[in-house]
Amino acid sequence: MSGSLHSVRIAFRSGTSLDPKGKEGLASLTASLVAEGASRTRSYKQILDEFFRMAAGFEVQVDQELTVFYGTVHRDHVTQYEAIVMEMLEEPAFLVEDFVRVKSDLLNYLKVGLRGSNDEELAKELLYAKIFAGHPYGHPCCGTVAGLEAIELSDVKEYFTNVLKRNELLELPAARTLEGLEVTLVEKEDARGVAMSFGYPIEVRRGHADYHALLVAQSWLGQHRNGGRLFDSIREVRGLNYGDYAYIEYFPDGMHEFEPEPNVARQQQIFEVWLRPVTPEKALFAFRMALYEIDQLKRNGMSVEDFERTRNFLSKYVKLLIKTEALVQGYRIDSEFYGTVEYTRYIAEGLAGLTLEDVNRAARKYLDTEKLCFVAVGPGMAELGRQMRESVATPIAYEVEQPKEVLAVDRVVGAWPLRVTDLQIVPFERVFEN
Amino acid sequence: MTKIFPFDYDQHDYPNGLRLITVPTGFPHIVSLYIVVHVGSRNETEAGKSGFAHLFEHMMFRGTAMYPPERYESVLKQAGAAQNAYTDDDLTVYHTTFTREDLPQILEMEADRFANLEYGEEVFRTEARAVLAEYNKDSAEPFHLLHEKLREASFDGHPYRHTTMGFLRDIERMPELYEFSRQFHRRYYRPENTTMIVAGDVEVATTRKLVEASWGGWAREGFVDVIPEALPLGGPKDVVVDWPSETLPVLQVAYRTPAYSDVSLESAALDILSYLYFSSSSALYEELVLVDQCCDVFFGIYADHVDPYLYVVTARVKDAARVEDVRRRVAETVELMKAEVVDAARLETVKSHLRYGFAMRMDHTDGIAGLLARYVALKRTPETINRLYEQYARVTAEDLQRVARTYFVEENRVTALLRSKA
């Protein structure tokens, strides 16, 4: 049946990291206007009507280093579809009314969608912005409020003509070195829970000699929406939240996606942990629990059984990811970006030669529980800040009886030392203003 | 006409009441197993026990004597399987996708889980708190609160009054309901209340035998549920919901509509009305989103349900001062739906959209099985899809006008507005 569908995916090596200073959001706004605006001979309304008849669409995804336009259509409509999307890509009309609409949509996404109602994604995006402060990755792909507001239609036209369609790899400065625990707390007094993310830059990415070893360690800690050590320890045993996951590659929109989307490839990645909202009084304990588990892996390594099981899981699981022609295209673009062979082959071959010692060595080398950025969004941030700065012990009490092994671990976790080197508290309305 | 569902499927009933639907999709290597239990928040008829179907979905991952959670997880890891579950108003679905050689073991392990689930009270209490954490996570999003309040106003006497998550007050006392949870399992997690979909790189005869071997011994219970009818709405009703922080106003104009049906035209007509008057191709979308630009989100939807539910038009308004204007224009469009006989070419465009839209979703095994699960929850057979599309083909402009006049009336209307208190 997939033979009856036809997918188009066009990628450029441009993106948010090329946004000019003071016009953060220009890459997203330009690409969105191409995908959601009129072209030379068709109004946007006409385009929507044509797509509606075909039940097709044409979307754009902008990341730090990649901009991709993509869509799928039934074979009955390929010729007409391609004529429409090629005109959109080659000859966008850049009408004022479309510009005003798309700019307002992006501002609303930032203010209402992200800042106002998605605390978890806000924590994740702010984590990246903090880790990459002063770096071209230092603001989110949707831009900043001031940046978006400053963009004129002429900026969009200029970016489209001179930047969007570039195809060379970007030269990026190195990520900064973290010196300790850098804490950013976003106050949102009406939230019911505290959403948390933490992490730090890593040199490992696809193509790096340690990629597969670190992938196994990450998967064992917390494979996205598929459980793992953090999930078991924080949610299953202690019932503290809904889920806890680790990453070695950017993974946006985890609230809604179960599997990674292609084409968010980046030359520089971070090791990242996402803790889903925890009630305020247990939030710091949950963070410490995650640090404890990472420390355990770093010190003790994985067991041979866990290693074999995780490696086996990944070898098979990656084959489930590339389900459609659209995804085949997306993964191919990423393989080209990273200079690796086809993705499932790359994973299979890398895992096949891997040893337990490779994984444990990578865990010792790349896992860190001290030099990292931590972001929390929720209520009661002044108190959380005080507890973190003073490394106050946060023992935990349960409504149910817990085994003595769990309580023994809890005593260590509750007193886990925190060495905060920087701590800021900001109201959520101020995040990504500039 | 040609049937819209493009695969030859096999539907087989076992003596214990379990129904198996096998769909060889032609896509290689991969198999998706969707186990649909015909229980959802619709079945939560007892006071103080809303949200229980969803809580129970969590409990299903707490293991059996033969497969404690660690062993269960280990088998899934060995298989490289992608697994998850969800609960909605009319169904609870457990789905796993994996490579074909693992089908026998996963079927056997799932059969054990459904028949022999075992957990203690302390595990139950811990999981009940994870459900509260899930509610807390969802509560950051204003649409959840609006949805809660809209339903509360719309369904006196029927369990659709609460969302699948349940009332917060009930979620908070869930840890006390361990005994009820055991009863819930006995009542609903039974073969006669379960439909299994096995799709992908599978053969019918082999799959039937495998399922027979592992699921054939699961005993029937025979519990008969009685779901009360909702009281008449007594509309129009208006609800205002305050959101504590920065957000845009969201207006929902809802009408009570009939239950999903594949033997009458109503469901098909209501779907078509959505596309004609409230989709990205509608005149009102053009006015509100593209020309006036006073809304950034705008759509209308008839959501298929086992019992009568709601048709909801949703508009997110960029400027609070424009809310009344948007409300007026939605009302004018509703009147237009009742007054006009829609142009034949325009109707045909919507029908084309529906046919191609369906074909576009038949491109991978997991997506096919997932879509089937939604329909199977309604009528327990993939054939309902073919019947629904036959109804779409039959709908005339006059039918649309008649259906609009029947259901889009003031007595059936509830309007909910979410606004920022900040």
What pLDDT digit, counting tens, does each position of A329-340 carry? 999 999 999 999
Please tell me whether residue B408 adopts helix, strand or coil conformation.
coil
The ranges assigned to domains in chain B are 10-215, 237-420
How large is the average pLDDT for residues A403-408?
96
The ranges assigned to domains in chain A are 2-164, 181-430
Task: Determine the CATH number of domain B237-420.
Answer: 3.30.830.10
**Interchain pair A52, B349: CB under 8 A:** yes
Longest Cα–Cα distance of chain B, Å, equals: 64
Helix, strand, coil: what percent of chain A each, to 5? 50, 15, 35
Cβ distance A93 to A402 under 8 Å?
no
**pLDDT given for residue A169 in this prediction:** 87
- Closest residue in A to B286 (Cα) is A45
**pLDDT given for residue B422 in this prediction:** 66
**Interchain pair B363, A105: CB under 8 A:** no
The count of other CB atoms within 10 Å of the CB of residue B284 is: 21
Alpha helices in B66-120 (DSSP H): 69-79, 103-116
**pLDDT given for residue B1 in this prediction:** 66
Q: Judge whether A2-164 and A181-430 match in fold.
A: yes
How large is the average pLDDT for residues A376-400?
96
pTM, rounded to two decimals: 0.95
In a mutational test of the B interface, the residue from A36, A45, A232 whose CB has the highest number of chain B CBs within 10 Å is A45
- Closest residue in B to A322 (Cα) is B364
- B232: Cα within 13 Å, side-chain hemisphere: 7
**pLDDT given for residue B371 in this prediction:** 97
Cα B419–chain centre separation: 27
Chain B touched by A46 (CB under 8 Å): no
Cβ distance B273 to B298 under 8 Å?
no
List all residues of chain A from 215 to 234 with a beta carbon under 8 Å from chain B. Answer: 225-227
Domain B10-215 architecture:
2-Layer Sandwich (3.30)
Q: How far is A96 from chain B (nearest CA, A)?
A: 12
In a mutational test of the B interface, the residue from A32, A42, A54, A192 whose CB has the highest number of chain B CBs within 10 Å is A192
Cβ distance A284 to A387 under 8 Å?
yes
Task: Determine the CATH number of domain A2-164.
Answer: 3.30.830.10
DSSP state, residue B229: P
User: Is residue A1 pLDDT above 60, yes or no?
Assistant: no
* Interatomic CA distance for residues B117 and B61, integer angstroms: 9
Residue with the two structure tokens 């038009």? B313
**pLDDT given for residue B191 in this prediction:** 97
User: Is residue A225 pLDDT above 60, yes or no?
Assistant: yes
Length of chain B: 422
* Interatomic CA distance for residues B181 and A271, integer angstroms: 40
Contacts of B235 by beta carbon, 8 Å cutoff, 6+ apart:
B256, B410, B411, B412, B413, B414
Question: A320: which chain B residues are within 8 Å (Cβ-Cβ)?
Answer: 30, 80-82, 97-99, 366
Alpha helices in B177-265 (DSSP H): 178-188, 204-215
What would the two tokens of residue A227 be?
Answer: 């459980």
Q: Is A187 left (phi over 0), alpha (psi -120 to 50) or beta?
A: beta
- A105: Cα within 13 Å, side-chain hemisphere: 20
**pLDDT given for residue A176 in this prediction:** 93
CATH superfamily of this structure's domain A181-430: Metalloenzyme, LuxS/M16 peptidase-like (3.30.830.10)
Sites in chain B below the pLDDT cut of 50: none
Please give the radius of gyration of chain A, using alpha carbons only, rounded to the nearest integer: 23
**Interchain pair B290, A45: CB under 8 A:** yes
Alpha helices in A322-378 (DSSP H): 325-338, 343-352, 356-366
Cβ distance A146 to A21 under 8 Å?
no
Q: How far is B140 from chain A (nearest CA, A)?
A: 5
* Interatomic CA distance for residues B374 and A290, integer angstroms: 37
What would the two tokens of residue B288 be?
Answer: 């509100």
* Interatomic CA distance for residues B41 and B155, integer angstroms: 13
Write out pLDDT tens, residues A87-146: 999 999 999 999 999 999 999 999 999 998 899 999 999 999 999 999 999 999 999 999
Cβ distance A241 to A277 under 8 Å?
yes
Pick from A392, A378, A385: which is nearest to A190 by CA? A378
How large is the average pLDDT for residues A211-222?
98
